[in-house]
């Protein structure tokens, strides 16, 4: 159920889900309300007056009974239960000039196709399908072997000839056939991958055609996600994530590679991630009362290092120039052979890698987003520790990894942190008072700043004129928030008393410099790939954002700081976890399972460090938004306002 929230005196309205926190609605609407405790309700600054409608509010400790009766509520302590009108009290007001409606984010696409529609049209065609078979019982005159009986019935009833059979399957065949008097359900893989022939995947007694599941797995350096897919319905049933247990041996791929080089290290890394996957799968199946026997196959995407570690391939050459992985296209592997607690019939279909730093997770996003079928010139971006980028369309694709560093994950930023409890995820600056409005993950007192918070804050600094285009704080401003710190000048986002860490949370010029390097590396990457084929950044027609990060950031602000190219917002799309997306598509669509290798081969990899002109373009991008302002017309416009 949705409600409309209108903010007075601006008369700005925004639509939100039932139960949404009012402070978030204000952020969404681009309405500034002073807020400095992150949403915990202790600073008492984010007061509003309820004029109409229903809010579920908690009364703050600092609020008098009188205030409460007058309709004063704390925005961070109020949930929207109906259409409401609220008024921002004068002390929280700021100049109407910079008020703006935040754009509607392009909808996240769960899948590039509608399985229900495909099923209705008879075009839902997953590679793995179940077929029920009633075989004739054997007699002395017809006593061919069980496998041949099965083959002959498949041929007769389903016109399926010359299927291939995995040996281990035959060990249970005799009993399965006889359990329900030669009535069995076969699972077949129709993907023309190694062979042109359908492959017999599994055989079960009786009719189990109504139960058929697959698992799509994304092994992130940080998190492992598993999706449970219903292949009969073509539906995503559920998904579950857990930290990749390798994380105790280092947060980034490089430290994992180094650990894997130690004696027994590779085996340890392999077992750790397999352990994580096993526990997630187990929890997911248990939640839905399913058995591992109901699963016919597993699709998987991961970056190149994660893929290698999962497969037990030593990734050491990934780290050494000239950065050669062992495997890009990955043969199907029996899940059990890698230690997964799944039946022998379950094989893993891995998305192909392109190069050492453009992995199967990116190919998965390109596949799942449909970029490889687009006529428009498209930029695909996945921002994580590294930023991976792909430009092109259905005719060609170029890709690269930008050594952006982990700045957008909080790395190299003094108070940077991941987007966990207490991280400032959204922030704005009052252009007159230079007071901040902050909101944290979990609506608690702040502990630090995560990527989306950093982008929004930097954009606010630019917009309010707190910083100059080279990332330095202006020295002529009269606010206690800007001061000289240990690492140059800094802005105090939260005072020690308002935090969980009993220190002032600040963003310094050194931090800003690191953010500029990170966004500069990305932008120089786009430009280099485009100019490599004679195109300009302005030729781009659309941008696809993948990754958790892509889903949380404010695109306009990311454009503002020069991280994303300056395209109209309607030309941006989120695909969320691109790695899971492509893996899901492969389970639901035979064509996509067959296409993925071709897609990976289409993607020409560039080593940016070795590509002429990259360094110059990088230096040109170390400016807010960029030295070439004509790359950013909308930002120029916004700054002028």
Cα–Cα separations (whole angstroms), residue 587 to 238, 372, 564: 14, 18, 32
Indicate whether 76 belongs to the interface with a copy of itself (CB under 8 A): no
- Provide, rounded to whole angstroms, the least separation between the CB of residue 140 and a copy of itself: 4
Segment interacting with a copy of itself, rule: CB under 8 A, options 20-28, 152-160, 192-200, 245-253: 192-200
- Provide, rounded to whole angstroms, the least separation between the CB of residue 254 and a copy of itself: 17
β-pairing, 378-383 with 387-392? antiparallel
d(CA 11, CA 9): 6
> Smaller CB distance to a copy of itself: residue 182 or 408?
182
d(CA 153, CA 79): 61
3-state secondary structure of 57: strand
Among 11, 143, 159, 263, binds a copy of itself (CB under 8 A): 143
> Smaller CB distance to a copy of itself: residue 26 or 273?
273
- Provide, rounded to whole angstroms, the least separation between the CB of residue 434 and a copy of itself: 48
> Smaller CB distance to a copy of itself: residue 94 or 606?
606
- Provide, rounded to whole angstroms, the least separation between the CB of residue 324 and a copy of itself: 5
> Smaller CB distance to a copy of itself: residue 194 or 287?
194
Among 58, 116, 144, 497, binds a copy of itself (CB under 8 A): 144
Whether 424 and 451 have beta carbons less than 8 Å apart is answered as: no
Q: In what order do the strands lie in the sheet with 448-449?
A: 436-440, 423-429, 448-449
Segment interacting with a copy of itself, rule: CB under 8 A, options 147-155, 223-231, 367-375, 497-505: 147-155
Q: Which of 579, 597, 593 is nearest to 127 (CA)?
A: 593
DSSP secondary structure code for residue 341 in this structure: -
> Smaller CB distance to a copy of itself: residue 196 or 640?
196
Whether 75 and 26 have beta carbons less than 8 Å apart is answered as: yes
Whether 256 and 269 have beta carbons less than 8 Å apart is answered as: yes
> Smaller CB distance to a copy of itself: residue 328 or 449?
328
How many helices and strands (H and E) does the chain possess?
A: 18, 29
> Smaller CB distance to a copy of itself: residue 314 or 435?
314
3-state secondary structure of 190: coil
Whether 348 and 300 have beta carbons less than 8 Å apart is answered as: yes
> Tokens at residue 434, please?
């230079």
Segment interacting with a copy of itself, rule: CB under 8 A, options 61-69, 143-151, 273-281, 615-623: 143-151
d(CA 426, CA 211): 44
> Smaller CB distance to a copy of itself: residue 63 or 299?
299
Segment interacting with a copy of itself, rule: CB under 8 A, options 160-168, 254-262, 417-425, 459-467: 160-168
Among 11, 97, 159, 167, binds a copy of itself (CB under 8 A): 167
Burial pattern 346-362, b for ≥16 Cβ within 10 A else e, equals bbbbbbbbbbbbbbbbb
What residues from 285 to 344 belong to the interface with a copy of itself (CB under 8 A)? 311-314, 316-317, 321-333, 337
> Smaller CB distance to a copy of itself: residue 283 or 320?
320
CB half-sphere exposure, 556, CA atoms < 13 A: 19
> Smaller CB distance to a copy of itself: residue 85 or 604?
604
Among 69, 97, 107, 148, binds a copy of itself (CB under 8 A): 148
Segment interacting with a copy of itself, rule: CB under 8 A, options 188-196, 228-236, 241-249, 255-263: 188-196
What residues from 112 to 141 belong to the interface with a copy of itself (CB under 8 A)? 138-141
Cα–Cα separations (whole angstroms), residue 416 to 246, 406, 454: 22, 10, 8
Q: What is the residue whose two structure tokens read 């526990």?
A: 279
- Provide, rounded to whole angstroms, the least separation between the CB of residue 458 and a copy of itself: 33
Whether 138 and 144 have beta carbons less than 8 Å apart is answered as: yes
Cα–Cα separations (whole angstroms), residue 141 to 113, 151, 152, 423, 581: 50, 18, 15, 75, 52
Among 194, 262, 474, 483, binds a copy of itself (CB under 8 A): 194
- Phi first, then psi: give them for residue 639, nearest 5 degrees: -65, -35
What contacts 194, CB < 8 A, 6 or more positions away?
A: 331, 332
Q: What is the CA radius of gyration of the chain?
A: 28
Whether 4 and 83 have beta carbons less than 8 Å apart is answered as: yes
- Provide, rounded to whole angstroms, the least separation between the CB of residue 404 and a copy of itself: 20
**Which uninterrupted H or E stretch holds 170?**
helix 170-179
Q: Which of 454, 451, 436 is nearest to 492 (CA)?
A: 436
> Smaller CB distance to a copy of itself: residue 168 or 243?
168
Packing angle, helices 578-588 and 360-368, rounded to 10: 60
d(CA 474, CA 416): 23
Could you give the string, one character per residue 347-376, with x where binding to a copy of itself holds by CB under 8 A and - elsewhere? ------x-xx--------------------
- Provide, rounded to whole angstroms, the least separation between the CB of residue 314 and a copy of itself: 6
- Provide, rounded to whole angstroms, the least separation between the CB of residue 19 and a copy of itself: 48
- Phi first, then psi: give them for residue 502, nearest 5 degrees: 55, 30
- Provide, rounded to whole angstroms, the least separation between the CB of residue 253 and a copy of itself: 16
- Provide, rounded to whole angstroms, the least separation between the CB of residue 562 and a copy of itself: 28
Could you give the string, one character per residue 594-633, with x where binding to a copy of itself holds by CB under 8 A and - elsewhere? -----------x-x-xx-----------------------
Number of residues that bind a copy of itself (CB under 8 A): 54
Segment interacting with a copy of itself, rule: CB under 8 A, options 11-19, 193-201, 496-504, 537-545: 193-201
Could you give the string, one character per residue 557-596, with x where binding to a copy of itself holds by CB under 8 A and - elsewhere? ----------------------------------------
Among 54, 67, 152, 166, binds a copy of itself (CB under 8 A): 166
> Smaller CB distance to a copy of itself: residue 473 or 606?
606
- Phi first, then psi: give them for residue 170, nearest 5 degrees: -70, -20
> Smaller CB distance to a copy of itself: residue 350 or 544?
350
d(CA 141, CA 37): 84
Whether 418 and 384 have beta carbons less than 8 Å apart is answered as: no
- Provide, rounded to whole angstroms, the least separation between the CB of residue 177 and a copy of itself: 9
d(CA 312, CA 309): 5
Binding-site ranges for a copy of itself (CB under 8 A)? 138-149, 164-168, 170-171, 173-175, 178, 194-197, 311-314, 316-317, 321-333, 337, 353, 355-356, 605, 607, 609-610
């Amino acid at each position: 159920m949705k409600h409309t929230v209108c903010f007075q005196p601006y008369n700005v309205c925004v639509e939100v889900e039932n139960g949404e926190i009012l402070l978030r609605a204000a952020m969404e609407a681009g309405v500034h309300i002073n807020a400095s405790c992150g949403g915990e309700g202790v600073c008492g600054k984010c007061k509003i007056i309820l004029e109409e409608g229903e809010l579920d509010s908690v009364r703050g400790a600092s609020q008098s009974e009188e205030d409460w009766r007058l309709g004063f509520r704390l925005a961070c302590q109020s949930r929207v239960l109906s259409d409401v009108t609220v008024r921002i009290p004068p002390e929280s007001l700021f100049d109407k000039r910079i008020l703006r409606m935040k754009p509607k984010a392009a909808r996240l696409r769960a899948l590039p196709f509608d399985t229900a529609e495909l099923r209705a049209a008879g075009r839902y065609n997953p590679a793995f399908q179940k077929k029920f078979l009633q075989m004739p019982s054997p007699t002395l005159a017809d006593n061919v072997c069980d496998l041949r009986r099965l083959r002959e019935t498949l041929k007769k009833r389903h016109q399926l000839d010359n299927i291939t059979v995995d040996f281990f399957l035959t060990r249970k065949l005799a009993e399965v056939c006889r359990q329900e008097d030669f009535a069995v359900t076969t699972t077949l893989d129709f993907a023309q991958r190694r062979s042109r022939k359908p492959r017999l995947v599994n055989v079960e007694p009786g009719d189990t055609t109504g139960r058929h599941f697959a698992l799509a797995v994304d092994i992130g350096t940080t998190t492992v996600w598993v999706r449970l897919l219903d292949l009969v319905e073509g539906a995503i049933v559920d998904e579950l994530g857990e930290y990749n247990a390798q994380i105790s041996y280092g947060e980034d791929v490089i430290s994992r590679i180094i650990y894997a080089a130690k004696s027994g290290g590779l085996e340890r890394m392999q077992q750790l991630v397999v352990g994580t996957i096993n526990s997630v799968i187990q929890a997911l199946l248990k939640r839905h009362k399913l058995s591992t026997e109901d699963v016919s196959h597993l699709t998987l995407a991961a970056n190149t290092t994660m893929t290698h570690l999962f497969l037990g391939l030593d990734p050491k050459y990934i780290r050494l120039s000239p950065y050669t992985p062992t495997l890009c296209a990955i043969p199907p592997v029996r899940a059990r052979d890698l230690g997964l607690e799944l039946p022998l019939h379950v094989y893993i279909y891995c998305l192909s890698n392109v190069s050492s730093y453009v992995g199967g997770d990116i190919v998965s996003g390109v596949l799942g987003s449909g970029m490889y079928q687009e006529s428009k010139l498209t930029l695909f971006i996945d921002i994580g520790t590294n930023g991976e980028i792909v430009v092109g369309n259905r005719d060609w694709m170029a890709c690269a990894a930008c050594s952006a560093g982990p700045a957008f994950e909080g790395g190299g930023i003094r108070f940077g942190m991941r987007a966990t409890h207490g991280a400032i995820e959204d922030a704005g600056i009052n252009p007159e008072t230079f007071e901040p409005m902050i909101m944290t993950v979990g609506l608690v007192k702040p502990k630090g700043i995560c990527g989306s918070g950093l982008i929004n804050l930097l954009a606010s600094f630019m917009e309010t004129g707190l910083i100059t285009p080279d990332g330095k704080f202006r020295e002529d401003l009269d606010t206690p928030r800007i001061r000289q710190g240990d690492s140059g000048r800094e802005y105090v986002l939260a005072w020690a008393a308002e935090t969980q860490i009993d220190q002032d949370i600040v963003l310094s010029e050194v931090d800003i410099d690191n953010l500029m390097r990170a966004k500069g590396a990305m932008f120089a990457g786009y430009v280099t790939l485009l100019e490599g084929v004679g195109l300009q950044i302005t030729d781009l027609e659309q941008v696809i954002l993948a990754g958790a990060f892509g889903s949380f950031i404010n695109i306009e602000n990311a454009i503002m700081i020069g991280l994303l190219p300056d395209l109209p917002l309607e030309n941006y799309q989120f695909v969320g976890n691109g790695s899971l997306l492509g893996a899901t598509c492969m389970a639901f669509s035979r064509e996509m399972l067959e296409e993925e290798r071709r897609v990976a081969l289409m993607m020409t990899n560039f080593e940016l460090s070795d590509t002429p002109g990259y360094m110059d373009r990088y230096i040109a991008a170390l400016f807010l938004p960029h030295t070439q302002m004509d790359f950013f017309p909308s930002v120029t416009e916004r700054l002028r306002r």
